[in-house]
């Protein structure tokens, strides 16, 4: 069952579409086309991501996740999160299911946020091709730092509020 916040988001998105199609029907059609293409793009990744979650729930022992990525692992867990995040392909449709499995198995909030916030290094060749090696020399350590600081921030916030 969906809770009120989830229903609220769906209603807001639907209302935005209704408002746009009332004001600018052409733009609304364009938006639907974009969404359709995006949906087709991510569908296979999304379903394989969810399939991996199911497999992880069965295969990965809970105590291993808790001891290596759990809340008590602190900085170490966040660093492992950064390493995992840098090796996973980009895209919420892959990362969110993986993170859901880890959260369910007992990983800490800081660790999962570090996984989500670290940009994938699998796109390094593409990125060097577009930006050049010098720009990439600054970007790569910044990506790792970003994941680490986001994880650390989430760890402290979760410690206070959750």
Partner 1 sequence: MQRGRRKKTTGEKYFVLIAIVFYAAIYNSAPVDAIKAVNFSTDIFFDVILLVLAGICLGGLVKASLPEDFVSSHLGPDVGRRAYLNSVLVAAILPGEAYVRIPLFEAFLTKGAGIGPFTSLSTARPVIVNFPQGMAFLGLPVAIIQVFSTVFGALTAGLFAGILQSKFEIVKPDSRPPRQKDRKKYNNRKREG
Residues 78-117 that bind partner 1 (CB under 8 A): 89-94, 96-97, 99-100, 103, 109, 112-113, 116-117
- Whose Cβ is closer to partner 1: residue 17's or residue 74's? 17
Question: 46 CB contacts (<8 Å, ≥6 apart)?
Answer: 93, 97
Residues 116-155 that bind partner 1 (CB under 8 A): 116-117, 119-120, 122-123, 126-127, 130-132, 134-135, 137-139, 141-143, 145-151, 153-154
Of 18, 25, 30, 67, the one binding partner 1 by CB under 8 A: 30
Q: Applying CB under 8 A, does 9 fall inside the site for partner 1?
A: yes
CB of 79 to partner 1, least distance (A): 14
Of 18, 25, 36, 63, the one binding partner 1 by CB under 8 A: 36
Of 25, 54, 62, 67, the one binding partner 1 by CB under 8 A: 54
CB of 158 to partner 1, least distance (A): 6
Q: Applying CB under 8 A, does 158 fall inside the site for partner 1?
A: yes
Q: Applying CB under 8 A, does 2 fall inside the site for partner 1?
A: yes
- Whose Cβ is closer to partner 1: residue 70's or residue 97's? 97
Q: Applying CB under 8 A, does 60 fall inside the site for partner 1?
A: no
- Spatial distance between the Cα atoms of 44 and 5, rounded to a whole number of angstroms: 27
Q: How far is CA 98 from the centre of its chain?
A: 9
Task: Show the 3-state SS of the chain.
Answer: CCCHHHHHHHHHHHHHHHHHHHHCHHHHHHHHHHHHHHHHHHHHHHHHHHHHHHHHHHHCCHHHHHHHHCHHHHHHHHHHHHHHHHHCCCCHHHHHHHHHHHHHHCCCHHHHHHHHHCCCHHHHHHHHHHHCHHHHHHHHHHHHHHHHHHHHHHHHHHHHHC
């Amino acid at each position: 069952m969906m809770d009120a916040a989830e229903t609220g988001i769906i209603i807001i998105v639907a209302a935005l579409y209704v408002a746009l199609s009332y004001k600018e029907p052409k733009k609304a059609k364009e938006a639907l086309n974009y969404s359709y293409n995006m949906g087709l793009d991510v569908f296979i990744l999304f379903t394989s991501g969810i399939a991996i979650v199911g497999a992880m729930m069965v295969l990965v022992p809970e105590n291993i996740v808790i001891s290596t990525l759990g809340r008590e692992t602190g900085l170490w867990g966040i660093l492992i999160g950064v390493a995992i995040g840098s090796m996973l392909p980009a895209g919420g449709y892959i990362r969110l299911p993986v993170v859901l499995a880890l959260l369910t198995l007992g990983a800490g909030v800081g660790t999962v946020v570090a996984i989500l916030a670290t940009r994938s290094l699998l796109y390094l060749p593409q990125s060097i091709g577009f930006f050049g090696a010098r720009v990439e020399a600054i970007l790569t350590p910044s990506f790792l730092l970003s994941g680490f600081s986001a994880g650390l921030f989430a760890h402290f916030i979760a410690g206070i509020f959750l």
